[in-house]
Amino acid sequence: MRTIVAWPLLLLPLFFVIHGFVEFYPIIPLPEAILLYFIYVGYGLFTALISRAFYQNWKQAFILGFYILFIELFFGAIQDILKATFPFSALNKYSLLLPLILILLLLIGYSIRKGAFSQLKYLYFVCTTLILLIIVDLGIFIANGSPSKIRNPLPENLQIGKKETGPLSDIYLIIADEYPGNTTLKKFFNHANDSFLNQLNSRGFYIADSAISNYNFTEFSTASLFNMNYLRKIVGRNASLNHLSYCFQTIQENPFNTYLQQKGYQFKNHSIFDFYGAPSPVKPYLLPGKTKPLTEQTLTRRVFRDIGYHVFTDVEWAADYFDLDEINRKNNDYLYQETIETSKTNVPTFHYTHLIMPHAPYYYNKSGELRPKGEWVKNDTSFYLEYLEYTNRQLLKLVDSIQKKSDKKAAILLIGDHGVRTNPIELPIPYHFQTLTSIYLPKQQYSHFYPSISHVNLLRATVNSLFGEKMKYLKDSTIYLQE
């Protein structure tokens, strides 16, 4: 009977992980969900071990560990409710929330010492409730037939069975994250990007100088791009975790990839996203990467996401020891190098590369030298513009490598996923969408493209140009989302 005190610590993370696994299926792979469960069990047991120093027995230590783990796992849900109910309240500020959490834990700890929450019937109630919740989630999962992954149908008029009269061109889709349009740079940063655009033009690129993304967040913009359509399951204007799950599923199995595969293309993924049969080649940091919809709900992840930048900007000594952006930098460099080094094959290939640049952090100066870590996330316009210059050189180098390798017979779409949203300055909403859009086609016939093209029409125009399709164009519009 004594072992009952440990069961809440084992059942709470089990419910948390199973509930998330069911809610976001099939985004979260089962092996990573299992690993995440053991990570949180270890977290709970560690807090119980630390709590033992303040109590006379393990029973009280395990109970306090349970409450600490509960706050850790469900902080995000509570915070979201507070934001929705009291959108402008001081309750939403960490300067108030964190002290309140500390006071609450002190009160709970004191109550436990006095004998509260430690009765056997209370522990049985907690365990029974968690077990019932787990059974309900598993029942929903089974009743739905383990909800199938989203399968986005091919858009209208695509001629899958059409015979091509000549060899198929390799296709490179290169997304430079948060790359702004030239108008944005001139108006708000007093910077003309003409030199970079002229160099692309001299390499045969068409520049859509008024192009826009349809969404202002990476996951949504990328999903709609590959879907060649607007995201029909997005309700409201909040970038919720459920919406993110839908975006990830749309990206994983999308109509553009399906179309190319049926044309005989193979797929090379050099991106941060997973595709069915082609997972992302980069490694996440700290926690299993594909469990992000779950881990982003926890207290530690919310705090790190929202105010963690102070580690790099305000605590100079910590920048050298707690820099998780270093992992992201290495991932970015790896994806770039993999794109350059991928060997040409006799099979037509679609290459997708997604680079976190010129999006912050601003790792390099304009000479390509690595900045001190404390400067990476500073909202400094000069740092941003220097990183943009570095990005331009890297992108031109990548384009030159592709054109040389393919003898200029590969199609290249070099675009941004959206415009500048927050760093280094806050811009008016319309400029969150204005982004780089440049296209190179082997025959350099660009009649299907136009200056104000948006992402939902970009791949429509591409298949019309390369394969003689007759896809209709959608109305170019924007959907503004908020976190």
Domain ranges of the chain: 2-143, 171-285+324-467
**How many CB atoms sit inside 10 A of residue 462's CB?**
22
**Which among 364, 418, 368, 6 is positioned nearest to 176, based on CA atoms?**
418
The phi, psi pair for 452, rounded to 5°, reads: -100, 20
Contact 254, 226 (CB under 8 A): yes
pLDDT score for 364: 95
pLDDT score for 31: 85
At residue 177, what is the residue type?
Answer: D
pLDDT score for 1: 43
pLDDT score for 452: 97
Task: Write down the residue that tokens 């941060």 correspond to.
Answer: 272
Alpha helices, DSSP H, located in 320-380:
325-341
SS3 178: coil
Q: What is the CA radius of gyration of the chain?
A: 25
The phi, psi pair for 171, rounded to 5°, reads: -125, 130
Go through 329-345 and write b for each residue having 16 or more CB atoms within 10 A of its CB, e for each that does not.
bebbeebbebbeebeee
Q: Return the CATH number of 171-285+324-467, one of 1.10.10.10, 3.40.720.10, 3.10.50.40, 3.50.50.60.
A: 3.40.720.10
pLDDT score for 230: 93
* DSSP secondary structure letters along 128-154: HHHHHHHHHHHHHHHHTTS-PPP-PPP
At residue 72, what is the residue type?
Answer: E
CB-count burial class (<10 Å; 0-12, 13-18, 19+) for 219? buried
pLDDT digits (tens), the chain, 483 positions: 456 778 999 999 999 999 988 887 767 778 888 999 999 999 999 999 998 888 878 888 899 999 999 999 999 888 888 887 887 777 788 888 899 999 999 998 888 888 777 677 788 889 999 999 999 999 988 887 554 444 555 666 565 545 565 789 999 999 999 999 999 999 999 999 999 999 999 999 999 999 999 999 999 999 999 999 999 877 666 666 667 778 888 898 899 999 999 899 999 999 988 888 888 888 655 455 667 778 888 998 888 777 765 554 455 544 444 456 787 888 999 999 999 998 788 899 999 999 999 998 999 999 999 998 888 888 889 999 999 999 999 999 999 999 999 999 999 999 999 999 877 778 899 999 999 999 999 999 999 999 999 999 999 999 999 999 999 999 999 999 886
At residue 256, what is the residue type?
Answer: F
Task: Write down the residue that tokens 């907690």 correspond to.
Answer: 126
CB-count burial class (<10 Å; 0-12, 13-18, 19+) for 202? exposed
Strand pairing report for 437-440 and 171-176: unpaired
Pairwise CA distance, residues 297 & 76, whole Å: 4
Strand pairing report for 206-207 and 437-440: antiparallel
At residue 85, what is the residue type?
Answer: T
Pairwise CA distance, residues 111 & 105, whole Å: 10
